[in-house]
Amino acid sequence: MYTIGQFSRICRVTVKALRHYEKVGLIAPARVEPGNQYRYYTREQVDVVAAITHMKELGFSLKAIKQIVNQDPGSDGMRDILTQQRRLLMDQIHLHSSRLTRLAWWQRTLEAREMTEPRKYEVAIKEVPAVQVYSIRKVLTDFPKDLTPLFLKALDELQSKGGVCAGPPITVYYDESFDAARVDVGVAWPVSDTAHANGTLAAVTAATVMHVGPYTDLEHAYEALYGWINKNGYRALTPMREINYNDPRVTPPDQLVSEVIVPIEKVGT
């Protein structure tokens, strides 16, 4: 048997970590001296700690590792744990990829000194006609990550019914304020054949701006729109719309083109 210090060196794990593993019920010493509380470990436990270290390197939490240790390697529970971890890692890849893309764009704009120049928007009032659409409305609890899958789902449903989209996709926001944990949103694909439409976006009088750049910068467009609306005696209405003119999966963030449409009415009407 090995003392805890020897075991720590063999496994390349700190004594503090071994004591923590014991505390959380992950691995206990094979023997603890009653008087001095010296802890001893066996050769077989070296393999257990090696497995724990391997799972930590794969990103598993100690809670998940404890579940795995208690699972039959071929059980459904084990497969479920591994599948869940794979999904978690994929989500992290997507998150960090998105952050890297945004960071690269920010760096380019800093180098071009564009960050010091105020963004200018030309606000226009438009009579937006009614649009026949195939749409899905849903409350999203993980925005904006859940938005693209919802668009793809709506497009798949439309195409499975034999429909063809007749214009760029439209995001419809039904809430006046914003809460990323609860976004009441619609995703809509315009259609020319009314047989494939399941709804209509009503005709509205709206204040609109064109935005070029990442979706993460759209708050500047809304800032310009709301400032113009409030200054010129109008009231902003809901739902607001964003028309996305190109595909973010293949278009660099600084080249994305969006139109923001906020319905309005004159104050006092």
DSSP 154: H
Please give the C-alpha separations between residue 239 and each of 7, 111, 180, 206, 260, in angstroms, as whole numbers.
64, 37, 17, 11, 11
List, for residues 9-18, the tens digit of each pLDDT value.
899 899 999 9
Do 258 and 170 touch, CB atoms closer than 8 A?
A: no
In terms of DSSP H, where are the helices of the chain? 4-11, 15-23, 43-57, 62-69, 76-111, 147-160, 218-231
Do 180 and 143 touch, CB atoms closer than 8 A?
A: yes
What CATH number labels 124-266?
3.20.80.10
User: Under CATH, to which class is 2-69 assigned?
Assistant: mainly alpha
Do 236 and 229 touch, CB atoms closer than 8 A?
A: yes
89/106: higher pLDDT: 89
pTM exceeds 0.85: no
Do 14 and 50 touch, CB atoms closer than 8 A?
A: no
Please report, as a single letter, which amino acid is at residue 222. Answer: Y
Query: Mean pLDDT, the chain, as a whole number?
Result: 88
Q: What angle, rounded to 10 degrees, do the helices at 62-69 and 76-111 form?
A: 160
Alpha-carbon torsion, ordered 123, 223, 217, 148, to 10 deg = -80
Do 131 and 202 touch, CB atoms closer than 8 A?
A: no
Mean pLDDT throughout 39-65?
Answer: 90
Gap between the Cα atoms of 207 and 66, Å rounded: 56
List, for residues 189-245, the tens digit of each pLDDT value.
999 898 999 999 999 999 999 999 998 889 889 999 999 999 999 999 999 999 999
**Dihedral of alpha carbons 70, 74, 75, 77, sign:** positive
Structure tokens at 252: 């660099």
With cut-offs at 50, 70 and 90, classify the pLDDT of residue 117. Answer: low
With cut-offs at 50, 70 and 90, classify the pLDDT of residue 107. Answer: confident
CA end-to-end distance (rounded Å), the chain: 86
Transcribe 41-71 into DSSP letters.
E-HHHHHHHHHHHHHHHTT--HHHHHHHHTS
Do 213 and 256 touch, CB atoms closer than 8 A?
A: yes
Nearest Cα to Cα of residue 172 among 188, 196, 158: 188
